[in-house]
């Protein structure tokens, strides 16, 4: 699956990183607790979250994630967008709640990994 596929399944708006939509992704996780992402997430490509702060981008970068999807239509500020662009991370938002967004991606074949 590509980031473009994630966009389509989630009816998401691409906020930044349009040039990376052909990047392959194999796993995803959904969390609003970045400490859990750091402690338990391994080999994930996509992060779904309701948080909109710079720490989300920094956490995704540390974990080598390539895409962040903000749920519930949340839109990050310019500082977050600039940081994601600097790190090469695609940002999107979806109108879906986290539970629904995760379910849609799971149904489409994206898994949570080990």
Across all residues in the chain, what is the average pLDDT?
Answer: 94
By C-alpha distance, which of 26, 33, 28 is closest to 92?
A: 28
Check pLDDT > 80 for residue 44: no
Q: What is the pTM of this model?
A: 0.94
- Sequence length of the chain is 114
Q: Looking at residue 114, what is its pLDDT?
A: 62
Write out the two tokens for 32: 């609003």
Residue with tokens 């995803």: 28
Burial class (CB in 10 A: 0-12, 13-18, 19+), 43: exposed
DSSP letters of 31-52? -S-HHHHHHH--S--EEEES--
| pLDDT value for 41 | 74
**Whole-number Å distance between alpha carbons of 46 and 67:** 5
Q: What is the DSSP letter of 18?
A: G
- Strand partners of residue 2: 24
Q: Does domain 3-107 fall into CATH 3.40.1390.20?
A: yes
pLDDT of 113 strictly over 70: no
Q: What is Dmax (Cα atoms) for the chain?
A: 34
What is the phi/psi pair of residue 6, to 5°? Answer: -60, -45
Domain ranges for the chain: 3-107
């Amino acid at each position: 699956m590509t980031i473009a596929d994630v966009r389509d399944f989630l009816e998401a708006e691409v906020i930044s990183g349009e040039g990376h939509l052909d990047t392959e992704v194999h796993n995803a996780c959904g969390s609003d607790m970045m400490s859990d992402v750091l402690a338990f997430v391994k080999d994930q490509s996509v992060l779904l979250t309701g948080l909109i702060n710079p720490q989300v981008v920094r956490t995704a970068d540390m974990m080598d994630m390539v895409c962040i999807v903000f749920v519930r239509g949340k839109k990050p500020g310019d500082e977050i967008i600039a940081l994601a662009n600097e790190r090469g991370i695609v940002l999107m938002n979806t109108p879906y709640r986290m539970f629904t967004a995760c379910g849609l991606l799971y149904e489409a074949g994206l898994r949570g990994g080990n």
